[in-house]
Structure 1
Amino acid sequence: MHGNPDEKCSPEECGFIGDCTDDTNCPLTGKEAGTSPEKEVVALYRTYHGQEGPVLSLAVSPDGKAALSGGTDMVVRLWDLEKGAQLHAFEGHVNEVSAVAFAGGETAVSGGWDNTLRIWDLKAGVRKHIIRGFDFYVRSVAVSADGRYALAGCGDKTVRYIDLETGDTIQKITGHNNVVSCVAFAGDLAVSGSWDKSIALNEARTGKYIRSFDGHEGYVYSIAVHGDRLLSGSGDMTVKYWDIGTGQCLKTLKGHMDHVKAVAFTPDGKYAVSAGADKFLKIWDVESGQCLQTIRAHDDTINTVAVSPDGRFVLTGSRDRSIKRWEFL
């Protein structure tokens, strides 16, 4: 297993207490991943500089004109994507910012290793409030479609379902055996991936367990949801494509040569984007499992990707302190 450069502690140090069993084998793709494409799918449009440490998290605004970034420099940055300039730097976190998300067009949410979730007013350029009470760091964040609620994946192996207006935790979802590294909404349901190698589906408001998605042989670092489909990226160097309704793995996408740290769907759900510690950005046709394009996108680990809501571009953020914009052709 390759190293994990952007995590601060080993599984034992983070409270690891056991593995999930791997008893589900997913079908392999019909075509070997990494095959040279017939034509380019994406091309580099712009590189954004100014991050003072590795980039750990990215999000694109609902209108596609701005982006949020968070990283080891403890700052939440708001970017004008067309001008390539920083609009604001939100300071206040006292440790790494591991997760950022938009809650509508004028509010941002960030979570970090300082055991807090912070809400920012993007228009006024100020912090609205701090949500405390976490027992360990906030590793991942997702915001509901209406911008009212958030899921926070935590180092204490739990998922918190939070009212962003009041800051109250409505539900604390348990069940994972290690750090909850990624979260996503699937309608009113909560999807969570963990360093225990599993993915779980629960009712967000009640915490009721529905099913798990088992089959990864390494940490689950990233998940993405589109309709009734799920993507996951893992330390086992694969991307898996799942049916949320049944828990069945529909495809295993192979081709990465190190940890897959980030995955995303395009808005139409036809394509998957993946990136990771091998420094490659890959574009996949999810139904066929074909890798359409592989790009050596950064000089170091790619920790995060974000696709614009209109599907025009994908952003990548790296340990090399840069953010890059790749336009779909």
Structure 2
Amino acid sequence: MLNQSEEEIQVIIQHWIRIFNIKLGWIKNFDRLVVNYATIVFILDTFRSSSKLLKTFTGHTNCVNSIDYSAFDGAELICSGSNDKTVRVWDVEDNEQIQLFNEHSNSVYCVKFSPHHYHNYRRYVICSSSFDKSIRFWSINNDEELKIFNGHVGAVFGIEFSPFCGGRYLCSGSGDKTIRLWDLETSKSLHAFNGHTHYVWCVAFSPLQRNDKNDNNKSNNIGLIGGNGYTICSGSFDKTVRIWDIETTKQFLEFKGHYDYVRSVKYGSNKLKIHVRLWDIRSGQQIQVFNGHKKWVNAVEYSPFVINNLKIGDNTNVICSGSLDNTIRFWDIRSNKDELHVIKGDDQEDGGICCFKFFELKAKEKQSKSSDNLDYITLCYGSGKGRVRVWG
């Protein structure tokens, strides 16, 4: 390795990071090595100076509430769910819609590609949640509905696949004030978490286990799922963010501070209305508030970018927020000063940012910008008027 040129080392490190999703701090002796080279690719200034609108997908006739990206077997697909009651699948390279699922009887709130179905059965499957109180699974291979989960007695909003057990488990938040945990293999609801006093709008699984040795409550009626310590985070219209222990099925943490509905949560951050708030799970305290949006914030994400060649823990030090004010704003989590960068949607055609997602695109049109033919970071967002746009 020491005899390799610096350029070759950079390529090798970049490849390892993308293929295995290595995060800083995960391997102690690897930490500084990755800092030196990974930031060359993911530095925010590069994206800020060169990014532009690459593609626009049209077809939805109402707000796009959710998008997801898949690169299984080299096929680059985007799926989207909308208030027009449809789930659509788009081919990124060919820039066209390739499938339409329209069996929901009300707005589609969330869509996710299922890692479980692909890795276990080599099937391309999309999971969608809807205001019609159902969770549905769609086969792209066979252009059909595979199954329906009925259990919630209210609209189903956020859904998330488990980061453990190959995505076998699914959690869902509902207008019935509960979070449900589902087993995809048995198609059964394993548990309903109760505690919120209003709609549960968003949910997220913890990326790492919670190692709480002082927790002697072992009233586990689910069984050990994914290992001891995994948690679910939920955001609600009751203005709280709560964290639930999957093993004990108990709530063990509650964050209060929002003065309006919580519509998006990510581990390490959550948001609502005009403000984006950052919480410390260890202390239970709010540590940052980011102000700048002029309307509701619909989505937050940790970005893949860094600034000043620094990463904090397992997350990058730049978070992003998308709002009905038609902007996506980039923030330094170490400071609550003005945003680092702003992407502004089309005022006439977009009608606000409803959702967005970062992914690493392999499409051919960017190869002319870089001779190394590596992936590049792309931002895709869904708009209030039905357009899906790709920036990169």
**TM category, shorter:** 0.7 to 0.9
Give the corresponding residue for 1:48. 57
In the TM superposition, residue 41 of structure 1 has moved relative to its aligned partner by: 7.1
Aligned match of 2:242: 200
Q: Is the 8 A contact 2:345 2:352 kept in 1?
A: no
Q: Which moved more, 1:291-300 or 1:314-323?
A: 291-300
User: What does residue 125 of structure 1 align with?
Assistant: 143
What is the letter of the counterpart of residue 114 of structure 1? D
Structure in which a larger fraction of residues adopt strand: 1
- The number of residue pairs the alignment matches comes to 286
Aligned to 1:219: 261
Identity of aligned residues (%): 30
Distance 1:270 1:163, change over 3 A: same
Q: TM-score under structure 2 normalisation?
A: 0.69
Contact 1:171 1:206 in 2 (8 A): no
Answer 1 or 2: higher relative contact order, Cα 8 Å, separation at least 6: 1
Larger Rg: 2
2:358 to 299, 307, 326: 307
Structure 1 residue 79 and structure 2 residue 90: aligned? yes
Is the CA contact (8 Å cut-off) linking 2:151 and 2:189 kept in structure 1?
no
1:176 lines up with 2:196 in the alignment: yes
Which range moved further: 287-296 or 214-223?
Answer: 287-296
Note the alpha carbon deviations across 1:211-232, whole angstroms, 9 max, x for none.
Answer: 012211111111123xxxx221
Q: Partners in 2 of 1:224 and 1:77 — Cα distance?
A: 25
- Segments of structure 1 that go 5 or more residues without pairing to the other structure are 1-36
Q: How far apart, in 1, do the equivalents of 2:328 and 2:135 lie?
A: 29
Question: Against the structure 1 CA distance between its residues 219 and 92, is the aligned structure 2 distance closer, same or farther, given a 3 Å change threshold?
Answer: same
1:135 aligns with 2:186: no
CA deviation after TM superposition for structure 1 residue 52, in Å = 2.2
Pick aligned residue for 1:294 from 315, 339, 342: 342
2: distance between equivalents of 1:241 and 1:40?
27
RMSD: 2.1
Structure 1 stretch displaced more, 205-214 or 62-71 = 62-71
Provide the C-alpha distance between the structure 1 equivalents of 2:325 and 2:376, rounded to a whole number of angstroms. Answer: 24
Deviations for 1:83-102, whole angstroms, at most 9, x for unmatched residues? 22112112211111011112
Equivalence for 2:38 = none
Q: CA-to-partner distance for each residue in 1:67-117, whole Å, 9 max, x for gaps?
A: 110011111111112222112112211111011112115221100011100
Q: Secondary structure at the match of 2:52?
A: strand
CA offset at residue 133 of structure 1?
2.3
Shift of 1:42: 4.1
Distance 1:97 1:144 in 2: 21
